[in-house]
């Protein structure tokens, strides 16, 4: 648990998000509590913030909408007592991710078949016509 602090540019580099997007996420309430500011009004991110944002990126990568992340952030920011809700939210998302994986595997099969069929087609010199 480092207590290092980071400027927005540094956070952008570390999370892979643009500074624009970081500010957007903040406005959208993804940040579980206010971001601290230095004496000039500049954002000061903690190591914890950076870690959280890294997780947000992963949530986004699996299609969790900003509003849902914001909801989770709100619960986390609220502190004790709502852990059951957070768990529920996470479980729901996990289920959606699992469903998504199913669908993707389904499609992957189609693609694999098509790729194989074109490979055969090309190797054999135009036998049959895939699609």
Partner DNA sequence: CTAGGTGCTAGACCGAGGTCTAGGTCAACC
Partner DNA sequence: GGTTGACCTAGACCTCGGTCTAGCACCTAG
CB count within 10 Å of CB 95 equals: 10
Q: Which residues contact 18 (CB under 8 A, 6 or more apart)?
A: 12
| Residue 49 to residue 45: CA distance in whole angstroms | 6
Residue span 41-80 as binding mask against its own copies, x where in contact by CB under 8 A, dash where not: -----------x--x--xx-xx-------------x---x
Indicate which of its own copies, DNA, none lies near residue 101 (CB less than 5 to 8 Å, by partner kind): its own copies
Q: Is 18 in the site for its own copies (CB under 8 A)?
A: no
Of 2, 41, 106, 124, which one interacts with its own copies (CB under 8 A)?
Answer: 106
């Amino acid at each position: 648990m480092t207590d290092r602090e980071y400027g927005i540019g540094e956070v952008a580099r570390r999370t892979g998000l643009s500074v624009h997007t970081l500010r957007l996420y903040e406005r959208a309430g993804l940040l579980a509590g206010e971001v601290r500011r230095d004496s000039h009004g500049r954002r000061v991110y903690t190591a914890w913030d950076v870690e959280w944002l890294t997780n947000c990126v992963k949530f986004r990568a699996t299609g969790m909408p900003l509003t849902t992340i914001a909801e989770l952030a709100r619960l986390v920011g609220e502190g004790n007592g709502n852990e059951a809700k957070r768990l529920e939210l996470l479980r729901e998302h996990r289920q959606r991710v699992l469903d998504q994986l199913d669908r993707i595997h389904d499609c992957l099969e189609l693609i694999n078949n098509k790729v194989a069929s074109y490979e055969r087609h090309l190797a054999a010199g135009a036998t049959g016509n895939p699609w």
